[in-house]
């Protein structure tokens, strides 16, 4: 199997850097882009000067102001961020068509084959960073490796303005010493659970017996087993626009209890929400798919007025959709959930004119 070359690019303090670029008076100062403290706003991001005070994304603006009384609050200008985002994507396209944007400021590039025919991935990353700076006045950090997981971890290692390479030779040792919270998919919920079990690094995770892996990660266990051994075969996926996004699961044994079915739907909904968040889109039409044990398949759909962005809203809707099926009376072998009519919510937002309320809603969508 031939080795891939993957670059992960992530802009530094993206919204804040755009504001510092466009407002010289903010340069070198602690600024927070987001909602106002007195309006119960949230920090979308903070400049590196502000981060020294412990201020970070998703923190309440009120708390941020307590940490740094000199903090300057700046309202977001999504059009400006979108513009910069398009600029960097155009630069990427000079190198490859295999581009997977994760958000406005972040993308994977597969440059195994690349348009200029440059053999060194590091050289391409350096060139892209230089062009981003020349054309947008912003700095980016790049991670270079042979798979997505390592490229993404690498881009975060030497922020801001970093360029980090993890070679196949370095990977094993690198992963063994990597803190557990840096692994793909291990977030604020899973990390404390793992630590409580004495799993702090990649080496600890690697040492787990297979059954323990299965207990921890369920159907994702094989993925984690491979990832901690430096194997991540996920391709760079280029689908920019999708009509719907869904997830489904076929169960090892048929389900009989509707309460259990709802429990099984929950992780599927989380997958869908995660995708939507990363792709800056939302949906208003929810579809539940049920396959009974005799393989008969049905779907139930509902379209609502407001975009579905929270687990709670979607689970409540799924519960009522499930109640219109024969699930419970009949056994179920597969459940699926999808959200359609995705719209680019950035385009829906009136720039600058949004009220603080609209602003805090918008920012909540990001999380």
Which of Mg ion, ligand DCP, none lies near 191, with the C-beta cut-off 5 to 8 A by kind? none
Using left for φ > 0, alpha for ψ between -120 and 50, and beta otherwise, residue 37 falls in alpha
Q: How far is the CB of 47 from ligand DCP (least distance, A)?
A: 9
DSSP string, 3-49: PP-EEEEEETTHHHHHHHHH-GGGTTS-EEEE--GGGT-BEEEE-HH
Q: CB of 185: closest distance to ligand DCP in angstroms?
A: 16
Residue 110 in the binding site for Mg ion (CB under 5 A): no
Touching ligand DCP, residues 67-106 (CB under 6 A): 103, 105-106
Q: Find out whether the peptide bond into 160 is cis, omega within 30 degrees of 0.
A: yes
Q: Near ligand DCP by CB under 6 A, which window of 8-16, 146-154, 222-230, 294-302? A: 8-16
> What is the smallest separation between the CB atom of 190 and ligand DCP, expressed in angstroms?
18
The dihedral of CA 156, 274, 106, 230: what is its sign? positive
Cα 56 from Cα 151, distance rounded (Å) = 23
Contact flag: residue 232 with ligand DCP (CB under 6 A): no
Site string for ligand DCP, 43-62 (x = CB under 6 A): -xx-----------xx----
Q: How far apart are CA 3 and CA 121, in angstroms?
A: 12
Q: How far is the CB of 77 from ligand DCP (least distance, A)?
A: 12
* Closer residue to ligand DCP, CB minimum distance, 103 or 190: 103
Asked if residue 117 lies in contact with residue 95, where contact means CB atoms within 8 angstroms, the answer is no
Total length of the chain: 367
| Complex with Mg ion: residue 10 or 232, whichever CB lies closer | 10
Element (H, E) at 361: helix 356-366
Q: Is 343 a catalytic residue?
A: no
**Residue of 38, 83, 106, 260 marked active site:** 106
Active site residues: 106
Instruction: Name the residues that contact Mg ion, by CB under 5 A.
Output: 10-11, 14, 105
């Amino acid at each position: 199997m031939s080795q891939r070359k993957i670059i992960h690019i992530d802009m530094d303090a993206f919204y804040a850097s755009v504001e510092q670029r466009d407002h010289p008076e903010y340069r070198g100062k602690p600024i927070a882009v987001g909602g106002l403290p007195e309006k119960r706003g949230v920090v979308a991001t903070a400049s590196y000067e502000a981060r020294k005070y412990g201020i970070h994304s998703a923190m309440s603006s009120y708390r941020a102001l307590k940490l740094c009384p000199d903090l300057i609050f700046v309202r977001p200008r999504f059009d400006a961020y979108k513009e910069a985002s398009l600029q960097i994507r155009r630069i990427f396209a000079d190198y490859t068509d295999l581009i997977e944007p994760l958000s406005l400021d972040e993308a994977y590039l597969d440059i195994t084959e690349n348009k200029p025919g440059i053999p060194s991935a590091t050289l391409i990353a350096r060139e892209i960073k230089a062009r981003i700076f020349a054309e947008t006045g912003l700095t980016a950090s790049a991670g270079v490796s042979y798979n997505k997981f390592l490229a993404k971890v690498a881009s975060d290692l030497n922020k801001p303005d970093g360029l980090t390479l993890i070679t196949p030779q370095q990977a094993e040792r690198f992963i063994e010493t990597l803190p557990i919270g840096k692994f793909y998919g291990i977030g604020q919920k899973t990390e404390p659970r793992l630590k409580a079990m004495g799993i702090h690094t990649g080496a600890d995770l690697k040492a787990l017996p297979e059954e323990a892996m299965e207990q921890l990660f369920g159907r994702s266990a094989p993925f984690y087993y491979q990832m901690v051994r430096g194997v991540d075969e996920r391709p760079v996926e280029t689908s920019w626009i999708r009509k719907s996004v869904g997830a489904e699961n076929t169960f090892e044994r048929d389900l009989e209890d509707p309460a259990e079915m709802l429990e099984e739907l929950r992780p599927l909904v989380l997958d869908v929400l995660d995708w939507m968040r990363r792709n800056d889109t939302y949906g208003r039409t929810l579809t539940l798919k049920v396959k009974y044990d005799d393989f008969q398949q049905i779907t139930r759909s509902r379209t609502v007025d407001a975009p579905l962005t929270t687990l709670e809203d979607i689970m409540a809707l799924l519960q009522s959709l499930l109640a219109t099926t024969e699930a419970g009376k009949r056994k179920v072998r597969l459940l699926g959930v999808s959200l359609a009519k995705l719209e680019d919510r950035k385009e829906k937002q009136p720039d600058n004119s949004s009220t603080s309320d609209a602003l805090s809603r918008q920012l909540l969508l990001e999380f």
